[in-house]
Amino acid sequence: GGLDCEVLSITDYTASGNEIAMRPAVVFTGRVHPGEVVASYMMEGTISFLLGDSALAKLLREMYIFRIVPMLNPDGVYHGNSRTSLSGCDLNRAWMNPEPNVFPTIWHTKQMIKQLIATRKVSLYVDFHGHSRKKNIFMYGVEYRKQ
């Protein structure tokens, strides 16, 4: 095993257990590519906002449970890799069929998301990245197609 991959849960825990269990989930992940340092700054700002005292942050904590994996590739970050894990693999290309022994952080994160989907609505998934040439903030999305 490598370094720990932390998972945060942020919500308003003063509510009843049943109420919390009914809240939709929002999932944030970041730093799948170690060299995309800006993703950590964005993640830090997002977490700080969600834990803050603003009325909007309080409302979001009352409405959702946030499951956050700030750093999907801690080994790659620690060892100074640019895009890959310690084994030289791009973890972001392993989502379709991650082997638990080869891609443990992706496998466990995918299991967490599957469990969330089985028990509640998942309203949003955001994977924080950086870019070598684009400036400011931008988003890519996936088109939903009914099968």
Whether the predicted pLDDT of 68 surpasses 90: yes
103, part of any domain:
yes
Residue 104: which CATH number?
Answer: 3.40.630.10
User: To which residue do tokens 């005292």 refer?
Assistant: 53
143, part of any domain:
no
Q: What is the mean pLDDT of the chain?
A: 94
Whether the predicted pLDDT of 1 surpasses 60: no
48, part of any domain:
yes
145, part of any domain:
no
Whether the predicted pLDDT of 8 surpasses 70: yes
Whether the predicted pLDDT of 137 surpasses 90: no
2, part of any domain:
no
140, part of any domain:
no
Q: Are 83 and 93 in contact (CB under 8 A)?
A: no
Total of domains in the chain? 1
133, part of any domain:
no
139, part of any domain:
no
Predicted local confidence at residue 135, as pLDDT: 82
Nearest to 67 by CA among 131, 5, 125: 125
Query: Which structural domain range is residue 50 located in?
Result: 8-128
Q: 36-58: buried (b, 16+ CB within 10 Å) or exposed (e) per residue?
A: beebbebbeebbeebeeeeeeee
* pTM (two decimals): 0.92
Per residue in 85-98, pLDDT tens? 998 999 999 999 99
Residue % of the chain over a pLDDT of 90: 85
